[in-house]
Amino acid sequence: MRLKTWRHFDFWLLGAVAILIIFGVAMIDSAVAGNPELIELGVVRRQIIFALIGIAMIILTTALDYHIWAAAGRVLYIFLVAALSLLIVAGEAAFGAVRALDVGFAVVQPSELANIAIILVMSDYFARHKHRMSELVWVVRSGLLTLVLVVLSYLQPDLSTAVVLMALWLSLAFISGLRLPHLFMLMGLGILVSIISFPFLVTYQQQRVVNWFFPDPEARFGETYNVDQAAISIGSGGLLGQGYGQGSQVQLRFLKVRHTDFIFSTIANEFGFIGTVIIMLILLFVIYRIIRAARLSHDMFGALICYGVATLIAFTSIVNIGMNLKLLPVTGLTLPFISQGGSSLLSLMLGIGLVESVVARHRVLDF
């Protein structure tokens, strides 16, 4: 790529992402302190390694013209259909769901890449059919493409990824010109399908939903333990928190999965309300810079890629924080760039690389 194109590289976006990742590594280190099993697994070291790989991925993806991803996205889609199918047969189970494949040197979660694949495939599809978005048949066809990955994710069973995929599809369809009557019809259909499919969810998924709608005030263990401890962690953090590495709920291990799903509660316990607000503002800044890139894009394909990545970060952030605050049911969605998870981090950084590629070429006609 020409050096002139690098002038438009969004260092503000990269800087904000880097701050979140560095802070995340520090919080993971605090969360696993005193836990020999997690320390032996080297979760902090692995997160740093994945972060460094992700930085290299951002640079490489920026150097490549994002238009090549129109074709590459279809290849990635086919690969993920095969990988998710294999996952159902030979995946590693964790927390009730089979989501990871052991490839020898690492355990990877193909479903994390499915989010990026849908963004690429749908961005290309809607950009090519932008003049036909008023016709419901074209939207339905895109929905069927999405549904393949949704069903494969659901069968793991990984309901949270299935929901994210549907949210990405619906948001990109709306941004591309989906008519409001069609949007409301599809949303209503989604709600109806959710109600009908509830009896077919696995037991732990049903229990999470039931506990959210009808919490048992007397319950202290079992399904409600994690969310109760999250609430206690957030409340005991107060305004300024108990200090880094000093959070009672974290360091005494009352808060479970505190380095992944409930890392927001870890932050609240150690840095308080002020700390969590700062982190949310940085996430909002990242989303703002991505939306800015979408508005700068000189074509619809690039704009939709950016809007898709912004939706992914916003949606997963809202769901994760809402879960920690007991405003939403418990899911397996992590806090972007902060929670421990190599596959999640790499897929998000790939998304940032795609955004940087778009914004770096928004003035391709300069001479």
348 located within any domain: yes
The per-residue pLDDT of the chain, averaged, comes to: 85
User: In this predicted model, what pLDDT tens digit does every residue of 6-55 receive, in sequence order?
Assistant: 778 899 999 999 999 999 999 999 988 877 777 767 889 999 999 999 99
Residue 105 is predicted with a pLDDT of 45
366 located within any domain: no
Share of residues in the chain with pLDDT > 90 (%) = 48
Question: Within 10 Å of residue 206's Cβ, how many Cβ atoms?
Answer: 13
41 located within any domain: yes
Q: How far is CA 207 from CA 118, 146, 212, in A?
A: 29, 27, 8
Residue 40 belongs to what domain range?
3-360
Question: Higher model confidence: residue 202 or residue 329?
Answer: 329
User: In this predicted model, what pLDDT tens digit does every residue of 72-123 receive, in sequence order?
Assistant: 999 999 988 888 887 776 655 444 444 555 544 455 677 788 999 999 999 9
User: In this predicted model, what pLDDT tens digit does every residue of 240-258 receive, in sequence order?
Assistant: 999 998 988 888 888 888 8
243 located within any domain: yes
302 located within any domain: yes
Q: How far apart are CA 291 and CA 45, in angstroms?
A: 32
Q: How far apart are CA 23 and CA 338, in angstroms?
A: 7
104: left (phi over 0), alpha (psi -120 to 50) or beta: left
Q: pTM of the prediction?
A: 0.89
365 located within any domain: no
Instruction: Examine the pLDDT at 316 and tell me if it is beyond 70.
Output: yes
User: In this predicted model, what pLDDT tens digit does every residue of 266-285 receive, in sequence order?
Assistant: 999 999 999 999 999 999 99
Two tokens, residue 150 = 């949704």
Structural domain total, the chain: 1
Instruction: Examine the pLDDT at 347 and tell me if it is beyond 60.
Output: yes
367 located within any domain: no
